Amino acid sequence: MYKNVINKGVIIGMVIFGLSECALASSVTSVTKVKQVEAVGQNYYAIQKIENPDVELQLAAVKQSEKALRFIKNPAEEVQIAAVTKSYYALRYIKNPSKEVQLAAIKQSYHAIKYIKEPVEEAQLAAVKQGHDIIKYIKDPSKEVQLAAVEQSHDAIKFIKNPSPEAMKLAYQKIMEAQ
């Protein structure tokens, strides 16, 4: 009866597949597409048993949990964006996030910049505009990023390792205006 599902390997609860019994399955690939989507939608771990999942399956898994990215080789950019929109912690599973992925993560929380090894300048600017002190996590921020952080608060200058002369001047001006 469950011939297309029963196979040697890992025991997977058939509850995942909408059935009430358990069976042996070495991969979820033998299950119909609808059942695969249902499976990963209910339990993102099922994605690891699907060889080369398409974008629809990747999105279903990430919708269930952003941690599904751990099991997806080369996830599509839209899947990465869906994951970081759910939680910026998903960046931990993305090696080189694109500018769009970085910006989506920072929109979710400016703290996402901490998890981006080489953030693009636009992502850096978006982060410091939300919180000036986040500049301390940006390695070698550009003059523009420094100025944006100092514009938010003159206190940002103390978080910049090598502030530009322009950033120092702006911080001084802001301090003088505050007095």
CA distance 4 to 32: 9
In this prediction, residues 101-117 reach a mean pLDDT of 96
- Whether residue 160 is predicted with pLDDT greater than 50 in this model: the reply is yes
Mean pLDDT taken over the chain: 85
Q: Which of 9-18, 49-58, 157-166, 169-178 bottoms out in mean pLDDT, i.e. has the lowest?
A: 9-18
pTM for the full model?
0.78
CA distance 122 to 126: 6
Helices within the chain (DSSP H only): 33-42, 55-64, 77-86, 99-108, 121-130, 143-152, 165-178
pLDDT at 116: 96
CA distance 87 to 108: 7
In this prediction, residues 141-145 reach a mean pLDDT of 96
